[in-house]
Chains A and B, each alone.
Chain A
Amino acid sequence: MNTLRKATRQQLFLPIVCVILVLAVNMVYDAARGAGIFNFFHIYIQNDLLQGRLINILNRGSEVAILAIGMTLVVSASSGTDISVGSVMSLCASFCCMLIAGFGVSSVESADQFAMPIVVGLIGALVMGVFCGTFNGSLVAYLGIQPMVATLILWSAARAIGLLLCNNLIVYIRVPEFGIYGGYIGCVPTPIIIAAACVLVVSLVLKKTAMGLYIQSVGINKKASRIAGLNSRKIIFICYLLCGLCAGIAGIVASSRITSADSNNIGLNMELDAILAVALGGNSLGGGKFNLAGSIIGAYTIQAITTTMYNLGVSTEVTPVFKAVIVILIVAIQAPPVKAWFKKHSAAKAAKKEVARV
């Protein structure tokens, strides 16, 4: 009983339980289909490429994982969420493709039609992401606007700007050099490599600099952090900037995956997934201490849920229903009145036990 209670207090308890649940559903499903129960873990090489459901989840979940990195920092430092990430992703993708194809060109079939080299496009996307992050960060950190309200602006505008940049077209870049970022390097899906690299870089930065300490300090107690010599505003600003950068990277991956810039669909509802990943990872949406590993596990868990549902025949338009329910459940468990109620309840129970013992 005691160990159970201790286990539930662990930060990674929630995501791990979710992973186990998803696995269980998969196993039952596989068993019911007559395939092996461990079909889920079955990885094989087909046409020189890694295949298998696990690989598929890791691959498809890359964008959410990348976004979750930025979102984790933002949530920790500012106690609010950046709801613009999905739209910014789409904007970055559009900007990238627009740069490569040239304005108003809807389709590029070979490398000699490029208006600009791919590198320029990629850098452009990242710069655009950083720019959006700067915009959000200035509003939140320096003008003191609530994070969700501030990011609401880009949430609605970014996608529209992206459409404008693409002249209302879906820009196709059917060139292997561009498709590689969402395709394969050797036999490994590139998105997995990119996501892993992002996670690695950010964890290294967190480990080798004091950034993690700074962000958590500001998120927990802004006033005390200021007295102790931290520039709270600058730190919050940097978090939004990084979040924008992450959105830019995710945008490149998403756009390369479909070798086009589909403004209306890239990153759609992705903000919910990113927030959900952070919450699932055992991080409080109220800010403060964070655990990047938790968020990453959360991100892949969400992808696992999405993929599983898809396998179960639930249409992609319906999956948000389940995600919404999960979000509400997780947040409700964290809500102060509910926590207080549980505490009171367990105290009353303990008291009853005590009485019974006497």
Chain B
Amino acid sequence: MKAPANAIKRRSGSINGHTLLMLITIVLFILLYAGGCIAYADKNFTRVQTFLNILRSSAGLICVTCGMTCVMLTGGIDISVGSLIALDCMILAMGMGDWGFSAVVSMVLVLVLGIAFGLFQGFCVGYLQIQPFIVTMAGMFFARGMTAVISTDQLSITAESSQWFYDLANYRIYLPFGGYLNKAGKMVMPYIGWGVVVSFAVLIVIFLVLRYTRFGRSLYAVGGNEQSAAMMGLNVKKTKMLAYVLASFLCSIGGICYAMNTMSANVNQATGLEMDAISSCVIGGTLLTGGVGNVLGSLFGVLINGTISSIVQTNGKLASSWPNILTAILLCFFIVLQSVFAILKDRKK
């Protein structure tokens, strides 16, 4: 019975940097949300619907962040996602509008585009060994430019273009709890949209993939030590490429959720969304150097971002650039924290 005792000792001592980062994130979210509840109790911040609205508006971001987590696990980064979403929305709007496609065809088109886009970026990173940042930065400008090629107008997706999509986007799934009585004395139940359902499905699938499949574990292995992964017989190049394909594909799913939320398309849509996704991952405990992180942490990262925007919105007086700045400060804090942990770990050796 020597081994179990040993194991227990190990476990208690294993609250290491990564777990600590994640704990900080969760505590931060709770504090932020509680702070919001206290400060804006008079502005309905305590209602369940407020929280669900955060989820509703972040549905697209959750999908994108799941993909981003996969890429960052390999030690890479993908800053093309914001532009890709703009392109997706544009294709959806134009597809169902001027081009006269059905909603389903437009959506398939968007998903195929995501895969193709990811294949190219992944090829450049995995097989040509170009720095991910450069590749995806080019991808970012390319996608944004292509959006402008399609149209530079402000388009909206209306009931005329596709009744089915319109209904889908506005469908409310009511929850059986958490309602409140409105002024007329009627019980109003909180609701979510299909976007939230899709994003949570994506989240669960990616969580399982990362934990229970060879591909998922390969992502961790490649990020942990690329050379070792190759020595142990993993196909590093292919794994990396697939990570980018997955990221762009999930980004396209996110694009559809995003479109359902905004029902519009324009060239400047979702600018800076890559930033939100990256900061969500980093805040959620994904290491920029790769190998550590999971989508649950990233979810909390998204929620923190969402809560910040929600608080700023509810306040109503704060400038619209505050969420951006706060996110950047948080990102900076976590990046520095990560690097300090890394330096400390090095020193211990």
- Chain A interface residues toward B at CB < 8 A: 81, 83, 139, 143-146, 148-150, 152-157, 159-161, 163-164, 167-168, 269, 272, 275, 285, 315, 317-325, 327-328, 331-332, 335-338
- Chain B interface residues toward A at CB < 8 A: 77, 124, 127-131, 133-135, 137-142, 144-146, 148-149, 152, 267, 272, 275, 278-279, 288-289, 319-322, 324-325, 327-329, 331-332, 335-336, 339-340, 342-343
Residue pair A163, B336 in contact (C-beta under 8 Å):
no
Q: How far is A336 from B148 in the complex, measured between Cα atoms in Å?
A: 33
From A81, A146, A160, A315, contact of B148 by CB (8 A): A315
- B-chain residues with CB within 8 Å of residue A335 when the two chains form the complex: 128-130
- B-chain residues with CB within 8 Å of residue A150 when the two chains form the complex: 335
Residue pair A160, B324 in contact (C-beta under 8 Å):
yes
Q: How far is A201 from B335 in the complex, measured between Cα atoms in Å?
A: 35
From B272, B331, B340, contact of A153 by CB (8 A): B331
Residue pair A272, B141 in contact (C-beta under 8 Å):
yes
- B-chain residues with CB within 8 Å of residue A285 when the two chains form the complex: 131, 134
Q: How far is A139 from B340 in the complex, measured between Cα atoms in Å?
A: 11
**Residue from A153, A168, A323 having most chain B Cβ neighbours under 10 A:** A153
- A-chain residues with CB within 8 Å of residue B320 when the two chains form the complex: 163, 168
Q: What are the 9 tightest A-B residue pairs by CB atom distance, in nearest-first order?
A: A157-B328, A321-B145, A317-B148, A160-B324, A320-B141, A160-B321, A324-B142, A324-B138, A320-B145
B90 to chain A minimum Cβ distance, whole angstroms, is 12
Q: How far is A272 from B130 in the complex, measured between Cα atoms in Å?
A: 16
**Residue from A157, A167, A335, A338 having most chain B Cβ neighbours under 10 A:** A157
Q: How far is A339 from B191 in the complex, measured between Cα atoms in Å?
A: 56
Q: How far is A315 from B148 in the complex, measured between Cα atoms in Å?
A: 8
Residue pair A164, B129 in contact (C-beta under 8 Å):
no
Residue pair B335, A139 in contact (C-beta under 8 Å):
yes
Q: How far is A169 from B176 in the complex, measured between Cα atoms in Å?
A: 45
Residue pair A323, B134 in contact (C-beta under 8 Å):
no
Residue pair B145, A319 in contact (C-beta under 8 Å):
yes
- B-chain residues with CB within 8 Å of residue A144 when the two chains form the complex: 339, 342-343
Q: Can you name 10 A-B residue pairings with CB atoms under 8 Å?
A: A143-B336, A150-B335, A152-B275, A157-B329, A317-B152, A320-B145, A321-B142, A323-B141, A324-B142, A337-B128
- B-chain residues with CB within 8 Å of residue A148 when the two chains form the complex: 77, 131, 133
B196 to chain A minimum Cβ distance, whole angstroms, is 26
A292 to chain B minimum Cβ distance, whole angstroms, is 21
Residue pair A321, B335 in contact (C-beta under 8 Å):
no
Q: How far is A324 from B138 in the complex, measured between Cα atoms in Å?
A: 4
Residue pair A164, B134 in contact (C-beta under 8 Å):
no
Known: A149-B335, A285-B131, A336-B129. A317 touches B145 (CB 8 A): yes
- A-chain residues with CB within 8 Å of residue B340 when the two chains form the complex: 143
From B128, B149, B322, contact of A338 by CB (8 A): B128
Q: How far is A122 from B127 in the complex, measured between Cα atoms in Å?
A: 47
From B141, B148, B324, contact of A156 by CB (8 A): B324
**Residue from A144, A154, A320, A335 having most chain B Cβ neighbours under 10 A:** A320
Instruction: Across the interface, name the chain A residue whose C-beta is closest to B149.
Output: A318
Known: A321-B142, A321-B146. A157 touches B335 (CB 8 A): no
- B-chain residues with CB within 8 Å of residue A153 when the two chains form the complex: 328, 331-332, 335
Residue pair A328, B319 in contact (C-beta under 8 Å):
no
- B-chain residues with CB within 8 Å of residue A317 when the two chains form the complex: 144-145, 148, 152, 267
From B133, B141, B332, contact of A324 by CB (8 A): B141
Instruction: Across the interface, name the chain A residue whose C-beta is closest to B132.
Output: A148
